[in-house]
Structure 1
Amino acid sequence: MLFLFNSNFFIFIIFFSTLISISSNSWLGCWIGLEINLLSFIPLISKSNNLLNSEASLKYFLTQSIASINFLFSIILMMIFMKNFEINNIFSMLINSSMLMKMGSVPFHFWFPNILEGLSWLNCFILMTWQKISPMILLSYYFNNKFLMAIMMINVIIGGLGKMGFNQLSLRKLMAFSSINNLGWLLMALLISENLWLMYMCMYSFMILIMCIMFYMLNIFYLNQLYNFNMNFVIKLSIMINFMSLGGLPPFIGFFPKWIIINFLLNFNFFLICFIFIMMSLIMLFIYIRIIYSSFLFFNYKMKWFKIFISNKMFIMINMFNLISLMGMILSTMFFL
Structure 2
Amino acid sequence: MSFFYNSNKLFFFFILLFSSLISISSNSWLGCWIGLEINLLSFIPLISNSNNLLTSEASLKYFLTQSIASINFLFSILLNMFFMKHFEVNLFISIMINSSMLMKMGSTPFHFWFPNIIEGLSWFNNFILMTWQKITPMILLSYYMNYNFLIIISIMNIIVGAIGGLNQTSLRKLLAFSSINNLGWMLISISISENLWLFYFLMYSFLISGMCFLFYSLNMFFINQLFINNMNSMIKINLLINFLSLGGLPPFIGFFPKWIIINFLIENKFYFMTMIFIMMSLIMLFFYTRIIYFSFMFNYLKMKWFKIYIKNNYFIMINILSFISMGGIILSTFFFY
Where in structure 2 are the equivalents of 1:150-299 lying within 5 Å? 150-164=152-166, 167-299=167-299
3-state SS of the aligned residue for 1:98?
helix
| Equivalent pair of 2:218/2:306 in contact (CA under 8 Å) | no
Of 33, 36, 40 in structure 2, the residue corresponding to residue 34 of structure 1 is: 36
Taking the aligned partners of 2:336 and 2:133, their CA distance within structure 1 comes to 30
Question: Aligned pair 1:121/2:123, yes or no?
Answer: yes
* TM-score, structure 2 as length reference: 0.96
- 1:202-256 per-position Cα deviation (integer Å, ceiling 9, x unaligned): 0100001011111011100000100001111110110111000000001100000
State the 1:335 CA deviation: 4.5
Taking the aligned partners of 2:334 and 2:267, their CA distance within structure 1 comes to 22
Q: Please tell me the residue identity of whatever aligns with 1:195.
A: N
Taking the aligned partners of 1:135 and 1:212, their CA distance within structure 2 comes to 22
Q: Please tell me the residue identity of whatever aligns with 1:83.
A: K
* TM-score, structure 1 as length reference: 0.96
- 1:71-104 per-position Cα deviation (integer Å, ceiling 9, x unaligned): 0001001100111011100000000000000000
Equivalent residue pairs, number: 332
State the 1:119 CA deviation: 0.1
Structure 1 gaps, min length 5:
none
Q: Which moved more, 1:249-258 or 1:296-305?
A: 296-305
Taking the aligned partners of 2:25 and 2:306, their CA distance within structure 1 comes to 49
| Equivalent pair of 1:71/1:98 in contact (CA under 8 Å) | yes
- 1:278-306 per-position Cα deviation (integer Å, ceiling 9, x unaligned): 00000000111111101111232245885
- In structure 2, relative to structure 1, the CA distance for the partners of 1:305 and 1:191 (3 Å cut) is closer
Taking the aligned partners of 2:305 and 2:206, their CA distance within structure 1 comes to 33
Aligned match of 2:3? none
State the 1:333 CA deviation: 2.8
Question: Aligned pair 1:22/2:24, yes or no?
Answer: yes
Identity rate of aligned residues, in percent?
71
Q: Please tell me the residue identity of whatever aligns with 2:75.
A: F
State the 1:181 CA deviation: 0.1
- In structure 2, relative to structure 1, the CA distance for the partners of 1:84 and 1:172 (3 Å cut) is same
Where in structure 2 are the equivalents of 1:5-16 lying within 5 Å? 5-16=7-18
State the 1:307 CA deviation: 4.2
Q: Please tell me the residue identity of whatever aligns with 1:265.
A: L
Q: Please tell me the residue identity of whatever aligns with 2:81.
A: M
Structure 2 gaps, min length 5:
1-5
Where in structure 2 are the equivalents of 1:133-144 lying within 5 Å? 133-144=135-146
Aligned match of 1:57? 59
State the 1:331 CA deviation: 2.5
Taking the aligned partners of 1:192 and 1:305, their CA distance within structure 2 comes to 46
Q: Please tell me the residue identity of whatever aligns with 1:47.
A: N
Taking the aligned partners of 1:67 and 1:335, their CA distance within structure 2 comes to 40
Taking the aligned partners of 1:12 and 1:188, their CA distance within structure 2 comes to 30
Taking the aligned partners of 1:41 and 1:10, their CA distance within structure 2 comes to 7
| Equivalent pair of 2:219/2:305 in contact (CA under 8 Å) | no
Taking the aligned partners of 1:195 and 1:299, their CA distance within structure 2 comes to 45
Taking the aligned partners of 2:191 and 2:229, their CA distance within structure 1 comes to 44
Q: Please tell me the residue identity of whatever aligns with 1:291.
A: I
| Equivalent pair of 1:255/1:329 in contact (CA under 8 Å) | no
